[in-house]
Homo-oligomer: A and B are copies of this chain.
Amino acid sequence: MSRIDGRKNDELRPVEIIPNINKFAEGSCLIRCGNTHVLCTASVEDRPPRHVPEGEGWVTAEYSMLPRANRERSRRDISKLKLNGRSAEIQRLIGRALRSVVDMKKLGPWNITIDCDVLQGDGGTRTASITGGFVAMMLAFRKMIEAGQLAEYPVSGYVAAVSAGIVDDVPLLDLCYEEDSSAMVDLNCVMDDQGRLIEIQGTGEERPFTLDEQRQLVELCEKGILRLQALQKEILGL
């Protein structure tokens, strides 16, 4: 069986990260994973939320899809006066993933907001947001270092994310929308650059899955994340 776009089972879609896409944000990039395009900006402000200990910083994320990011137009959250439940879930995930490698004491009294706005969605928007959001965050940290607001990058490692899934009983890396729509199982991994898990979320969409299948999917993700982190390093030039 061949994949709809001719990829091998463990092959990522073509990925492109265009840094500094936004003239005003302290850090930004446009990440394109196949037809999924996410604009990530990092904004630096000087008021962390109240629950943060005095002198420490915070990283938070917001995620949204433009109304026509998808095959059908969806109504804006504001016209329904409700934050989309799926968006609420995803932005909590992005925030947790990025915070996991940031040392809030080293960051000092700054609040970093990562906005991930999906311009076009073709599957894998949440993982693209994490991979691109990390780059935007690092670019903002670089600007803060240059401005003397930070002494060094307050991070303990790289973060990237990808999905894998089981389609017709075959484990595949980085599902596009068509594959995702017919996937039996869907699993997202967020990992650091030592191959350790930061987040894992797996769902049996059409059927339960065995522990062995779960292991295979994580291993596929591990391969993809390694390549995404190589690209992040290349872009950041660190």
Q: Which residues of chain A have a CB within 8 Å of any CB of chain B?
A: 22-25, 28, 35, 39, 41, 43, 45, 62, 64, 66-71, 73, 76-79, 81-83, 85-86, 88-89, 91-92, 96, 100, 113, 115, 117, 119-120, 122, 187, 191-192, 194-204, 208-211, 214-215, 218
Contacts and interface: CB of A to CB of B under 8 A. Distances in A.
Contact of A203 (B83, B96, B204): B96
Contact of A92 (B66, B81, B85): B85
A157 B194 CA distance: 38
Contacts of A192: 208
A120 B22 contact: yes
Q: Give the number of copies in the complex.
A: 6
Given A68-B41, A82-B81, A24 B100 contact: no
A204 B85 CA distance: 23
A198 B194 contact: no
A24 B69 contact: yes
Q: Which 4 A-B pairs have the closest CB atoms?
A: A196-B208, A43-B73, A41-B68, A77-B78
A153 to B, nearest CB: 18
A158 to B, nearest CB: 11
A192 B23 CA distance: 33
Nearest to A83: B78
Nearest to A45: B73
Contacts of A96: 203
A39 B118 CA distance: 12
B210 A197 contact: yes
A122 B208 CA distance: 29
A50 to B, nearest CB: 14
B82 A115 contact: no
6 contacts: A22-B68, A25-B68, A83-B85, A83-B88, A196-B204, A215-B215
B194 A199 contact: no
